[in-house]
Amino acid sequence: MRLILIDSLRENRSNFYPLVLGRPIWELRCGFSSLEDKLIAKINPDEIAYFVPDYMATYYRTQVEKPVNDVTMLAGDDLLLVDPSVKAANFDPALAGGQAPPAEAGVKAKGPSEIGINEQGQVLYSRISEKDVGGLTAGSIDQFVASAKASLPNVKCELSTWEYTWDLVLANCEEIATEFAVAGRSGIEGNVEEPLAIRGSKKDVYVAPGAKVHPMVTLDAEHGPIYIDEGAEIHPFSRVEGPCYIGKNSLLLGAKCREGNSIGDFCRVGGEVEESIIHGYSNKYHDGFLGHSYVGEWVNLGALTTNSDLKNDYSNVSVMLDGRRSIDTGSTKVGSLIGDHAKTSIGTLLNTGSYVGAMALIMATGKPLPKHIPSFGWFIEGIVTKGFGKGRLYEAAKTAMSRRRCQWTQQTEAMWDAVFEITSPVRKAAIKKGRRRLSM
């Protein structure tokens, strides 16, 4: 059975901006792993193929070894097409072999052809047997799904889905605990120097081979497990509270790492961090607070950068994904959504429910910033400007990536050029608003 992940048909993929401007939805993380990893673990396919937005396809082919936007993958096998916002919990691994499901079971990975559609008419999954594939139109993924929906049985379904990026942040504590239990690992396999304080059960702590824990570190697993992955390093006077996942080759420098954090690979983290997801290759080296936030890749948060994640009146936090429309998150605790390659200066103060676009550059003002900073925007002297243009932002990105022995390629630049155009209307509106303020 071939699993086809589709992130090219969603009308509302902007719900996950700015984090999916440079990646498909299935690469978003929660707990130890990505949404793709969770789906693969549940479904256990023989083969995988991807369909991403066209502007991303050439770049994404350089990042993965599996087929990308290849319509030939829509034939020759039983297929399971899945919207990546569908939670992996909807699929039962016991059903992958075609066993009769219990009455309360979710979606079978194998079985008769059917199209799962929610009340809004969105196709959440398409299970198509090899014998039915031949009768469908496969000129493009859009045509293929439309043909399947028109000719195969449609099933109304209410599968649980991820709706916004902050859903991942709010679920992170529980997901870390679940994945720690599934991993089934505990104990010290890396290098740990004494004195070390472990609170709670030692069975809820795992230090992987190659990880280093310096002396004078506290690992507090009283309220949740702690998983320190290979090559990670924790410097003296750091305190790590579970549930927590620290990714491969990441570094904690005297950090107050409170509960609910997932720190990706090759990150540098100091100061106080709480219930946040940091995707990878990002720096929060210095003091400052980051709470209930999702940070993309190649982000640099300057010294004393701090975000609010709770309003003074304890009401629900709202987020402006498009710079205009305010969306109620349904939660009293939501911090910041920070896109790839964003950079903040020292002393930056981010408002509750802030949106910081990809490639944004922020200069502190000494007071909380506006809740929406558009992608590629230069926030200088309290307004959004063109600054010195995207070329200078690209140069900074190239330098940052080279410091971690990664390359900025022609494919990378072409994708970000496309993102620049996609985000242009919101950015132009913010720049125009800034010009009006200057003229007053």
Structural domains of the chain, with CATH: 2-163 (3.90.550.30), 167-439 (2.160.10.10)
Q: Could you give the residue ranges of the DSSP H alpha helices within 3-53?
A: 35-43
Q: What is the pLDDT of residue 141?
A: 95
Half-sphere exposure of 295 (CA within 13 A, CB side): 32
Structural contact between residues 296 and 339, judged by C-beta atoms closer than 8 angstroms: yes
Q: What is the pTM of this model?
A: 0.94
Give yes or no for residue 396 having a pLDDT over 80: yes
**Separation of alpha carbons 346 and 362, rounded Å:** 9
Determine the residue type at 30. Answer: C
**Separation of alpha carbons 46 and 43, rounded Å:** 9
Q: What b/e sequence results for 223-260 when a residue is b if at least 16 CB atoms lie within 10 Å of its CB, and e otherwise?
A: ebbbbbbebbbbbeebbbbbbbbbbbbbbbbbbbbbbb
pLDDT digits (tens, 9 = 90+) for 328-375: 999 999 999 999 999 999 999 999 999 999 999 999 999 999 999 999
The whole-number average pLDDT for the span 28-38 is 97
Q: Compute the mean pLDDT over every residue in the chain, rounded to the nearest whole number.
A: 94
**Separation of alpha carbons 203 and 219, rounded Å:** 12
**Separation of alpha carbons 71 and 141, rounded Å:** 7
Q: Which residue, 131, 84, 125, is CA-closest to 107?
A: 125
Place of tokens 């994708």: 415
Structural contact between residues 390 and 359, judged by C-beta atoms closer than 8 angstroms: yes
Q: Which residue has the higher pLDDT, 135 or 303?
A: 303
Place of tokens 């009769």: 100
**Separation of alpha carbons 22 and 39, rounded Å:** 21
Q: Which residue has the higher pLDDT, 99 or 345?
A: 345
Structure tokens at 433: 């608003």
Q: What is the pLDDT of residue 100?
A: 36
Q: Given pLDDT bands bounded at 50, 70 and 90, which one contains residue 104? A: very low
Give yes or no for residue 95 having a pLDDT over 50: no
What is residue 322's DSSP assignment?
A: S
Q: Which residue, 81, 86, 191, is CA-closest to 146?
A: 81
What is residue 100's DSSP assignment?
A: P
What is residue 38's DSSP assignment?
A: H
Specify the range with the lowest mean pLDDT, choosing from 24-28, 109-113, 162-166.
109-113
First-to-final CA distance of the chain: 63
Q: Which residue, 79, 54, 35, 267, is CA-closest to 171?
A: 35
Structural contact between residues 93 and 42, judged by C-beta atoms closer than 8 angstroms: yes
Q: Given pLDDT bands bounded at 50, 70 and 90, which one contains residue 440? A: low
Structure tokens at 1: 């059975």
Place of tokens 């049985």: 153
The whole-number average pLDDT for the span 40-47 is 94
Largest CA distance in the chain: 70
Residue 45 Cα to chain centre, angstroms: 23
pLDDT digits (tens, 9 = 90+) for 214-260: 999 999 999 999 999 999 999 999 999 999 999 999 999 999 999 99
Place of tokens 């916002």: 85
**Separation of alpha carbons 236 and 259, rounded Å:** 19
**Helix (H) / strand (E) containing 345:** none
Q: Which residue, 344, 284, 246, is CA-closest to 29?
A: 246
Q: What b/e sequence results for 336-345 when a residue is b if at least 16 CB atoms lie within 10 Å of its CB, and e otherwise?
A: bbbbbbbbbb
Burial of 153 (0-12, 13-18, 19+ CB in 10 A): exposed
**Neighbour count for residue 432 (Cβ, 10 Å):** 10
Determine the residue type at 122. Answer: Q
Q: What is the pLDDT of residue 325?
A: 84
Give yes or no for residue 106 having a pLDDT over 90: no
Q: What is the pLDDT of residue 93?
A: 59
**Helix (H) / strand (E) containing 337:** strand 336-338
Structural contact between residues 317 and 350, judged by C-beta atoms closer than 8 angstroms: no
Determine the residue type at 402. Answer: S
